[in-house]
Structure 1
Amino acid sequence: MKTIIVTGAGSGLGKELSLLYSQQGYHVLLTGRSADKLSAVKTEIEQVGGMSNYVVLDVQQESDILKKVEELSKDHNIFGLINNAGVGHFGPFVRIAQQEISEMLHTNVFGTILMTKAVLPLLQAQGEGLLMNIISTAGLRGKVNEAVYAASKFAVRGFTESLQKEYENSPIKVKAVYMGGMDTPFWEGSDHIADSSHFRSAKEVAEMILEQIDQNEIIIESKKS
């Protein structure tokens, strides 16, 4: 059975993509920082007949990534990677703390790059695979009070577009997903969005991604239709 690794799989879009891929016959490896959340998603997948396992993994820790991916590759046929883990801190640029800048760059940029660096050789070795980077529409255009967040997403956009060119004649498919705000726990503790209920649900966005999976670039705006 082919295995897909999903980062940030404990909630939101990562959770919903994991559920959908498990229903398409994939074994899903759930990763994230909260064992309780990952365990709950694993149970939900198994209740509807899917197969999954989870491993606690912090994409900010390079040594953790390399060790865990190596261990996982010994027991599973790694077919794909969905780089979904991300964090955002918002507000006027001059008020963004150094720690917040560091967290966004290490999670959104370095986490995506290092996870890809660890998994891509496995896909090359088997001659096929899927790499999906969940980027955000903040990687397409700058936004007020999102300067560093947008910078991190523009970096992932450049990384993804470059890999698409590098692997364009390869059976390894590289997908760039640009989605707007969703109604998820991502906004908890932030006053950047007063009411996220007018956004699409994570489930709706996940379904739209799979409907458009043949495209290399998938853009889903935040507003409900």
Structure 2
Amino acid sequence: MAKQTWLITGVSSGFGRSMTTQLLAAGNTVIGTVRNTTKVQDLIDDYPDTFICETLDVTDVPAIHRLVDRLAATHNIDVLVNNAGYGLFGAAEELGDQDVDKIIATDLTGSIQMIRSVLPYMRAQNHGRIIQISSYGGQVAYPGNSMYHAAKFGIEGFCESVAQEVAAFNIGVTIVEPGGARTEFRYGSAQVANLMPAYDDNPAHAFLAMLDPANGLAPGDPQRMAARIIESVDQTPAPLHMVLGSDAREKTIARLQERLAEYQSEADLAASTNFPVGD
């Protein structure tokens, strides 16, 4: 892979951190955004010429536009990776209004605005790659995770549309759908709503077992997943969907098969709402 400049949001942990360390070790330039520089001070020290650390809250839309405009004045951004985000668990009824607004602003709107900000510059340079970190939770929904699924289903629809809009400008879009991975997303940064006793014996609280490491760790290796994401940039055309983890692949295929069977069973129902032929 030729040396490139990558703009990655949320590089203090998880996939963002793993990708950044691998890219820097290979001689690439990484512009990494964080909310607090403390966790990446080692990268700042070790790669003073190729790691550019920027403080950004992706819920601050004007700040996103200002940052990208400033960076684009001195750098060609070859790859954007939308990685910043978090998980929110709890039944829909257990979530507060602020919980709903915050996760949409972070996991959905923040990604949309990052993509919108870089597109004019990628179009002008006639190349670019957008990598959206989603989840197989952008295809498969579970109880107790409604707002996370709302954000991921939403960003996948946005990216599928944008991919068709920008292909003519040599810009590729890849939606990454990891399964469970041993990152802070599950074992550190996940947020839990104010749980109600009414849901204690409900599937909406099944996530509590998943978040407890004592019940077994997730199978996904963040370093291997990061390596596969980096390698995808060399694929032409860009893969639109990239599922990582055999667990994610199996569950996604099963859900898509269920969905297809459901739609196929509704042929008569769908046709019953058309005007009669000839009318």
TM-score by length of 1: 0.89
Structure 1 counterpart SS, 2:124: helix
Question: Which residue does the alignment assign to 1:179?
Answer: 178
In 2, Cα distance between equivalents of 1:74 and 1:212: 27
Does residue 204 of structure 2 align to residue 205 of structure 1?
no
Could you tell me which of 37, 59, 67 is aligned with 1:35? 37
Deviation at 1:212, TM superposition (A): 4.3
Does residue 136 of structure 2 align to residue 127 of structure 1?
no
In 2, Cα distance between equivalents of 1:8 and 1:128: 23
Report the structure number with the largest CA radius of gyration.
2
Structure 1 counterpart SS, 2:217: helix
Contact in 2 for aligned 1:93/1:145 (Cα 8 Å): yes
Question: Which residue does the alignment assign to 1:57?
Answer: 56
Deviation at 1:131, TM superposition (A): 0.6
Question: Which residue does the alignment assign to 1:19?
Answer: 21
Deviation at 1:181, TM superposition (A): 2.2
Structure 2 counterpart SS, 1:81: strand
Question: Which residue does the alignment assign to 2:245?
Answer: 221
1:14 is aligned with what amino acid? G
Question: Which residue does the alignment assign to 1:136?
Answer: 135
In 2, Cα distance between equivalents of 1:137 and 1:56: 29
Contact in 1 for aligned 2:123/2:169 (Cα 8 Å): no
CA-based RMSD of the aligned residues comes to 2.2
* More strand, by proportion: 1
Q: Percent identity?
A: 28
Deviation at 1:165, TM superposition (A): 1.4
TM-score by length of 2: 0.73
1:85 is aligned with what amino acid? A
Deviation at 1:189, TM superposition (A): 6.0
Contact in 1 for aligned 2:44/2:51 (Cα 8 Å): yes
In 2, Cα distance between equivalents of 1:169 and 1:205: 29
Contact in 1 for aligned 2:16/2:83 (Cα 8 Å): yes
1:11 is aligned with what amino acid? S
For structure 1, the 5+ residue unaligned runs are none
In 2, Cα distance between equivalents of 1:131 and 1:193: 30
Contact in 2 for aligned 1:109/1:155 (Cα 8 Å): yes
Contact in 1 for aligned 2:123/2:171 (Cα 8 Å): yes
In 1, Cα distance between equivalents of 2:45 and 2:177: 29
Where do 1:77-92 residues align within 5 Å?
Answer: 77-92=76-91
Contact in 1 for aligned 2:134/2:176 (Cα 8 Å): yes
For structure 2, the 5+ residue unaligned runs are 191-207, 249-279
Question: Which residue does the alignment assign to 1:5?
Answer: 7
Deviation at 1:111, TM superposition (A): 0.3
Does residue 212 of structure 2 align to residue 194 of structure 1?
yes
Question: Which residue does the alignment assign to 2:267?
Answer: none
Deviation at 1:112, TM superposition (A): 0.3
